[in-house]
């Protein structure tokens, strides 16, 4: 069996004294309060599911910009974990803060521009004040995950045009619409992003197990995604424990959704793309 690398699990500690809650938006996300998952619990779930390694994504809706828990997890289990951290890219000292977290095991950054506690699509990530952050990400070869919606695509294009050397990962495929079915006209703007070779895609349960596939199927939609972007620019993330279900169930659903794809493409989606984005996981 080929290795499996998860590039989107989360962890939350029950120890709020050591890791105080300070969620973005001011309200803690439901999942992080109802399903807090320690890094030890994540390891157990990975072992049960057959997931070899993980790039743990900092829980912004629990801890805001304090990445301490992910950093401590990476320090505790460096052979299996790396971390995707989050900072205030608008802050005057963003580059200094960036370097601090790089020193604590950061292999990727994530900008949380919309989500359960911040439903509107923010525009600040394209503010000129963030330019030092983007320049530093490019210089340090640190990929930046974008948690965003379709409405943010025009601004994302501006950033990629201005910073062509920065690697971007689109979380949850930016929730590209697919209910209209082939040829997926509603997702035209999403598919047009394929021309940006610096852009990678992250597929999660939000894309794999929607309430309805409408007029399409996993094969018709993901087939077009693979044909348009190439499997080498697609990686799988569990969104565990945000998404409901065991890690084993979440991985099985993703495997089923991509079962139509040739084995070499599946190898990219479930491991090799992750190793390109986070080389520390390839060791």
**Which CATH number characterizes residue 187's domain?**
3.20.20.140
Q: pLDDT at position 118, please? A: 67
Beta bridge partners of 64: none
Range of the domain at 246: 5-282
For residues 22 and 12, the answer to whether their CB atoms sit within 8 Å is no
pTM of the model: 0.96
For residues 226 and 266, the answer to whether their CB atoms sit within 8 Å is no
Q: pLDDT at position 124, please? A: 87
Closest by CA to 87, choosing from 76, 77, 101, 74, is 101
For residues 51 and 72, the answer to whether their CB atoms sit within 8 Å is no
Phi-psi region of 171 (alpha: psi -120 to 50; beta: other; left: phi over 0): beta
Q: pLDDT at position 116, please? A: 64
The total number of structural domains in the chain stands at 1
Distance CA(227)–CA(61), nearest Å, equals 34
Beta bridge partners of 54: 6, 81
Q: Which phi and psi (to 5°) does residue 202 adopt?
A: -115, 120
Q: pLDDT at position 39, please? A: 98
**Residue 146: strand, helix, or coil:** strand
Q: Consecutive sets of 10 residues in the chain, 283 residues long: mean pLDDT of each?
A: 92 96 90 93 98 97 96 98 97 98 97 76 92 98 96 95 98 94 96 98 94 91 98 98 96 97 98 98 91
């Amino acid at each position: 069996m080929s290795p499996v690398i998860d590039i989107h699990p989360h962890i939350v500690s029950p120890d709020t004294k050591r890791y105080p809650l300070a969620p973005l938006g001011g309200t803690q996300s439901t999942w992080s309060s109802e399903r807090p998952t320690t890094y030890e619990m994540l390891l157990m779930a990975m072992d049960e599911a057959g997931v070899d390694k993980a790039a743990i994504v900092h829980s912004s809706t629990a801890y805001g910009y304090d990445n301490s828990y992910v950093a401590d997890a990476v320090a505790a289990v460096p052979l299996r974990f790396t971390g995707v951290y989050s900072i205030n890219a608008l802050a005057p000292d963003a580059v200094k803060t960036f370097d601090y977290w790089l020193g604590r095991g950061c292999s990727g950054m994530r900008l949380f521009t919309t989500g359960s506690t911040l439903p509107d699509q923010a525009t600040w990530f394209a503010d000129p004040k963030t330019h030092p952050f983007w320049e530093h990400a490019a210089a340090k070869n640190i990929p930046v995950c974008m948690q965003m919606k379709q409405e943010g695509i025009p601004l994302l294009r501006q950033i990629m045009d201005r910073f062509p050397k920065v690697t971007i990962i689109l979380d949850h495929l930016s929730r590209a619409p697919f209910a209209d079915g082939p040829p997926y006209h509603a997702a035209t703007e999403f598919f047009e992003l394929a021309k940006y070779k610096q852009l990678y895609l992250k597929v999660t349960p939000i894309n794999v197990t929607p309430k309805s596939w409408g007029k399409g199927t996993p094969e018709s939609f993901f087939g077009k995604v693979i044909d348009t972007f190439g499997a080498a620019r697609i990686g799988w993330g569990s969104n565990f424990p945000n998404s409901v279900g065991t890690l084993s169930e979440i991985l099985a659903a993703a495997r089923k959704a991509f079962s139509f794809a040739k084995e070499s493409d599946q190898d990219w989606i479930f491991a090799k793309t992750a190793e390109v984005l986070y080389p520390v996981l390839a060791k």
